[in-house]
Amino acid sequence: MFKNKTAIITGAGQGIGYGIALALVKEGCNVVVSDINQATCDKAAQDFSGMGVRALGIKCDVSNKAEVDNLVAKTIENFGQLDILVNNAGIYPFKPFGQMIEADWDRVMDVNLKSIFLCSQASINAMKAGSKIINISSIAAFVGFEGLTHYCASKGGVSSFTRALALELAPKKININAVAPGAVDTPGATGSSSEEVKKQTVAAIPLGRMGLAEDIANAVVFLASEKADYIVGQTIIVDGGWTLR
């Protein structure tokens, strides 16, 4: 599906980002794996290089403009093109609102929201008509979670940003959409959760199971494909029905 195309996936060293990169690779896409740790990037890129595509790992703090500009420049230097950008990198440090300090708020906004501004702006000048940007939002853009006011605000911003930028990019035939995951079973999200907490989470999901990285990846692959050419500025919720209650 994506033969001879190149994608950047941020936060792709593990978890959902890794799953997204893997799904794109399985469809023949060359990938640039970006994460905060170079060793993690290299390991993932090595995994994917053995699957018949070209893969490159580039360390990048997505909240830093110089590093983001370098990420895109290195992608063009090595692959000659950029067709798909998946803005996946994000953090979700729990902190009661009353105990939250300005630095807590700023860090979440920088990684979760400012990064999407920086990565998208750096990428669009390198993109041709038919290119796709997919932002990873969250059901936290639609429902509240205690201890995550900064995270909820940032993800609400992601969905709003997606709608607004879609209007500017549509005339250039560059599509931007978002995917909003619910509870996903990844080491970062559930690795430290007790079995009781996991049971309570599953009980809130109509489908009766946690999401998997591949569930999110499947939605991203669809939005990155030609089959989604007429979908513009939307956020697709992938949560097993959680937000329907």
In a domain, 108, yes or no: yes
The verdict on residue 105 lying in a domain is yes
Domain extent, residue 192, equals 6-237
Provide the 3-class DSSP secondary structure of residue 86.
Answer: strand
Tens digits of per-residue pLDDT, 142-152? 999 999 999 99
In sequence order, the 6+-apart residues with CB closer than 8 A to the CB of 22 are: 47, 48, 217
Active-site residue flag, 151: yes
Any domain includes 243: no
Q: What is the CATH number of the domain that holds 62?
A: 3.40.50.720
- Active-site annotation holder among 18, 92, 151, 230: 151
| Amino acid making up residue 184 | V
In a domain, 192, yes or no: yes
Residue 242 lies in a domain: no
Name the 3-class secondary structure at 240.
Answer: coil
Please give the average per-residue pLDDT across 202-229, as a whole number: 97
- In this predicted structure, the answer to whether residue 126 has a pLDDT above a threshold of 80 is yes
Question: How does pLDDT run across 84-106, given as a tens digit for each residue?
Answer: 999 999 999 999 999 999 999 99
pLDDT higher than threshold 80 for residue 194: no
Residue 1 lies in a domain: no
Interval 29-78: pLDDT, tens? 999 999 999 999 999 999 999 999 999 999 999 999 999 999 999 999 99
- Give how many domains the chain has, as a whole number: 1
